[in-house]
Amino acid sequence: MAAPTKIKKRIEALREQINYHNYRYYVLDDPEIPDAEFDRIMRELQDLEQDYPDLITTDSPTQRIGAEPLKKFSEVKHEIPMLSLANAFSDSEVEDFDRRARERLDVKSIEYAAEPKLDGLAISLMYEDGILVRGATRGDGWTGEDVTQNVRTIDAIPLRLRGKGYPKILEVRGEVIITKAGFEQLNDMQRERNTKLFANPRNAAAGSLRQLDPRVTASRPLSFFGYGLGKVTNVKLPGRHSKIMALLQEWGIPVNTEAHVVKGAEGCLDYYHQMQAKRNSLAYDIDGIVYKVDRFDWQEQLGFVARAPRWALAHKFPAQEEMTLLQAIDVQVGRTGALTPVARLEPVHVGGVTVSNATLHNQDEIDRLDARVGDTVIVRRAGDVIPQVVGVVMSRRKGRPRRYRLPDTCPVCGTHTVRLPGEAVTYCAGGLYCPAQRKQAIKHFASRRAMDIEGLGDKLVDQLVDAGLIETVADVYALEAKQLAGLERMGEKSATKLIRAIEKSKHTALARFLYALGIHNVGETTAQSLANYFGTLENIMKADEDDLMTVPDIGPVVAKSITSFFSQKHNREVVSKLLQAGIAWPKIKVKADAELPLKGRTIVVTGTLASMTRDEAKAAVQMLGGKASGSVSSKTDYVVVGENPGSKADKAESLGVEILDEGSFLKLLGKK
C-alpha cells in the first residue's frame, strides 16, 4: 500500500530538520535545540520509516547504522593521488619554503591558508549529486580501502550536502579524528569491558574507522574535519583555498574554524606560535600547522616534487612522544599516603623540554604496560601535563627483566602499605605517623568538622611542621604559647588564643575524634555509626573486619581501611598520646535496636531550620541510627523541609518521598 502524501511530506520535513540541526551542531558548533528534542525528532522519523519501509532512502539520517559486517575491505584507486606533505621542524625551514615559492612565482609576497594539522586518519569522501556514495582511506596515496559503510556512521559527515550549487561529483578530503573527551570516554568503555586501552586518539580513530563491522565504528566517538578537495566536475569553483573551505561549510561539511589566511613567512610563524600556545586548550589533538598557498593558480604553477606539493608545508610541533630507556622505578608518597611509582628515565627531549622522570600512576598501569626496568619506553608530554610512560617497545626488550611490584612497606616511614578492594591506589597505612602525610594529617585533624581547633589553619600548620615543632597530631597538644609567639604573624595574643582553642578541642565526641584520625573511607557518617554501634574507642580498635561489617553501611572496603589503620603500631602510639593529652568525650550508651527508631531510614534536610543547624540535624538523625544523606533518591524515606528549600523538595515530591516540616521532624526525633 502506497504511503499517503501527508506521510511522505512529514518524513521529508523530519529529515530536513535533522540535517539542519546536525549542521548547527557539527559544522557551526552552535546547537539550536536541546538533545532531548533532537532525539524526539529522530524517534518520530524512525517510527514512520518502520511503518513505511518503502520510503527509506540511503541518505536518511536513520541509515547511519545497521550494515552487515564485511569480510574484507575492497580497494579504491584515487583518481587524484592523496599525497603527503613535506615537513618543517624549524622557523628557518618555513622561511626557506616561503622564499622558494616567491622566487618560483616571481612575486614579493604570498598569502597562505594556515590551519591546524589534525592528528587523525586522512579520508576521502565522494559525493554524487550531493549524496555520499563512497568513503576511502588514504592508503599509500594512490590506493586506499573502501570504508563507506563506516564513514556513514559518523554523525559529523553529512549523508546529503546542504544547499545548492555543489558539483555533480565532489570529492572532499579531510581527517577523521577522536576528540580528547571522546578518547577518555572510549578508554573508560574499554576499561569497563576489561579490554585493551588505546594509546592515543590517533590510534583510536584509525582503529575505529578500519573495523569490518560498521556497528563497532558506530559505537566509537568519531568526528571529522574537511581540509581540501580531490575530484570535482561540472562546476567552476572559487580560485582560493580559503573560499573553498567557506563553501564546504555552507554545504554542510565541518571545517576547522581555527583556520586563517596569513601573509608571508612572518604571518605563518606568528600563527604557528599562537596555535602552539593554544594547543592544549583545543578539544582535539594537533601535531603542527599546515600552510597552503591560498591561490589555486599559483598552486598549479608551483606544482609537485616527488610525492609532495611545492605549494604546501607541514610545520610540526616539537614531538610529544619519544623513546628512551627506563633506568629505574622509584616510589613517591603523597600527602594523602598514596604511593605513586615514578619512572627514572635516560634524559630525552620531548614536548620542548628535557624529561628524566615520568609518572607510572599505579600498579594497575604498570601491569597494563608491562613496564620493567631496562625496557625501552615511549614517553609522552603534552604542554604542562606531567610526563607519562604510555607504552613499552617490546621488540627492544633484552633478556627477561623482573616484573615490578610496589613495595609492601612505605619507603618513607616503613609502615605496611595497603590496597583496598576495588581501588587502584596503594596507600601507606601510617596516616598519623608518616612524615610524607604529616601536614595533611594535621590540617585534617584540626579542621572544623574534626577537632575544630580554631586558628590552626593551613599556613600555620606548614610553619609548625617546617620549624620542627610538631611531627604528629599528638604534638599539637604539647605546644606552648611562647613557641607560637616566635612564629611569623603570631604575636602573644594570637598564640594565647590558639592555646585556648587547642585546650577547648580536648572536649569532643567519639565520632568527631574518629573522623579526625583521617582513616581512609571513614567520613563523618561512618564515624558516627561506629561510635553508636561500639560505644568505645577500645571496642572499635579491637574489632576485626567481620565485626565491623555488622555495622550498617560498612562494607569490606571500609572495614579493611579501619583494621589496617589500627593494626599499625605507630598509629596506635599516636592515639595513645592523644588520650594521654586529655582528649575525652562523654560516655556513649550503646543503644539496642528498639532505642534506634531511625535505624535503616534515610533522611535528607533541605532549607533552614529554626531550631537547629544542618550539622546538628544530621547528628541527631545519626544518633537515632538513621542515615543523613545530601541527595534525594527513590531510597530516601523522608525529606525535611525548612525555610527556603532548594530543588530537593521538588525532587522529593516528584518521587513520592514523604515530606516533613520542622515540627514533624522534631517529633520524629522525639524532641516534641
Spans of all domains in the chain = 5-64, 87-316, 321-396, 407-590, 593-668
Residue where the block lists cell 596507600: 427
d(CA 126, CA 337) in angstroms, rounded, equals 57
Instruction: Read off the pLDDT of each residue in 501-530 and give the average, rounded to a whole number.
Output: 93
Quick count: other Cβ atoms within 10 Å of Cβ 277?
A: 10
| 5-64 has CATH 3.40.50.170 classification | no
Q: Residue 377's pLDDT band (boundaries 50, 70, 90)?
A: very high
The DSSP code sequence of 411-469 is TTT-PBEEE-TT-S-EEES-TTT-GGGHHHHHHHHHSTTTT--TT--HHHHHHHHHTTS
Predicted confidence at residue 241, as pLDDT, reads 96
CA pair distance 574, 441, nearest whole angstrom: 12
Half-sphere exposure of 644 (CA within 13 A, CB side): 2
- The rounded percent of the chain whose pLDDT value lies above 70 is 95
Structure-block grid coordinates of residue 631:
541527595
Tens digit of each residue's pLDDT (9 = 90 or more) over 15-30 = 888 888 877 766 666 7
What mean pLDDT comes out for the span 428-434? Answer: 88
Instruction: Give the model's pLDDT for residue 289.
Output: 96
537-560 burial, b at 16+ Cβ within 10 Å, e below that, comes to: beebbebebebbeebeebeeebbb
Q: Starting from the edge strand earliest in sequence, which strands make up the sheet with 627-629, in order?
A: 627-629, 602-606, 638-641, 658-660
Question: What are the grid coordinates assigned to 260, written together?
Answer: 586563517
In whole angstroms, give the CA distance from residue 485 to residue 487: 6
CATH class of 593-668: alpha beta
Handedness of CA 474, 475, 478, 481 (dihedral sign): negative
Quick one: CA dihedral 634, 422, 219, 200, positive or negative?
positive
pLDDT for the residue 373 = 95
Average pLDDT over residues 590-594: 61
- Distance CA(344)–CA(331), nearest Å, equals 10
Under the banding of pLDDT at 50, 70 and 90, the label for residue 52 is: confident
Find the range with the poorest average confidence among 215-229, 377-391, 518-532: 377-391
Tens-digit pLDDT profile for residues 79-136: 998 888 888 888 999 999 999 999 999 999 999 999 999 988 899 999 999 999 999 9
Question: Which 3 state secondary structure label does DSSP give 530?
Answer: helix
- Cβ burial 359-371 (10 Å sphere, 16+ → b, else e): bbbbbebbeebeb
In angstroms, how far is CA 123 from the centroid of its own chain?
28
pLDDT of residue 372: 94
117 included as an active-site residue: yes
List the helix and strand counts (H, then E) for the chain.
24, 24
Instruction: Please compute the mean of the pLDDT values over residues 193-221 and round it to a whole number.
Output: 84
> Around Cβ 26, how many Cβ atoms within 10 Å?
20
Q: What does the pLDDT read at residue 618? A: 78
321-396 has CATH 2.40.50.140 classification = yes
Question: Would you call 592 exposed, middle or buried from its count of C-beta atoms within 10 A (0-12, 13-18, 19+)?
Answer: exposed
Query: Which pLDDT score, from 0 to 100, does residue 187 have?
Result: 87
pLDDT, residue 69, reads 56
Pick from 164-168, 294-298, 628-632: least confident: 628-632
CB 49 within 8 A of CB 41: no
Q: Which of 38-42, 251-255, 350-354 has the highest mean pLDDT?
A: 251-255
CATH topology of domain 87-316: D-amino Acid Aminotransferase; Chain A, domain 1 (3.30.470)
Q: Using a pLDDT cut of 90, give the percent of the chain over it.
A: 47
Q: Is the pTM of this model over 0.85?
A: no
With respect to CATH, is domain 407-590 assigned 1.10.150.20?
Answer: yes
Orientation of helix 614-623 relative to helix 524-534, angle to 10°: 30
CA atoms within 13 A on the CB side of 510: 21
Asked whether residue 415 carries a pLDDT value surpassing 80, the answer given is yes
What's the whole-number mean pLDDT along residues 354-359? 90
Quick check: 611 pLDDT over 90? no
Q: Taking residues 314-331, what's their average pLDDT?
A: 88
**pLDDT surpasses 60 at 67:** no
Whole-angstrom Cα distance, residue 442 to residue 462? 10
- Find the mean pLDDT for residues 373-390: 83
Listed in sequence order, the residues at least 6 apart from 633 whose beta carbon sits closer than 8 Å to its beta carbon are 655
Query: What are the CA-CA distances from residue 305 to residues 85, 86, 90, 310, 470 (Å)?
Result: 10, 10, 21, 6, 72
Confidence band (pLDDT; 50, 70, 90) for 385?
low
Calpha distance 628→636 (Å, rounded) = 10
Whether 331 has a pLDDT exceeding 90, the answer reads: yes
Q: Map residue 22 onto helix, strand or coil.
A: helix
**Looking at the predicted structure, is the pLDDT value of residue 254 above 90?**
yes
The answer to whether the CB of 597 falls within 8 A of the CB of 589 is no
Catalytic site residue from 117, 443, 560, 618: 117
Spatial separation of the C-alpha atoms in residues 13 and 564, rounded to whole Å: 65
Beta bridge partners of residue 286, listed in sequence order: 118
pLDDT, position 35: 65
Averaged pLDDT score across all residues of the chain: 88
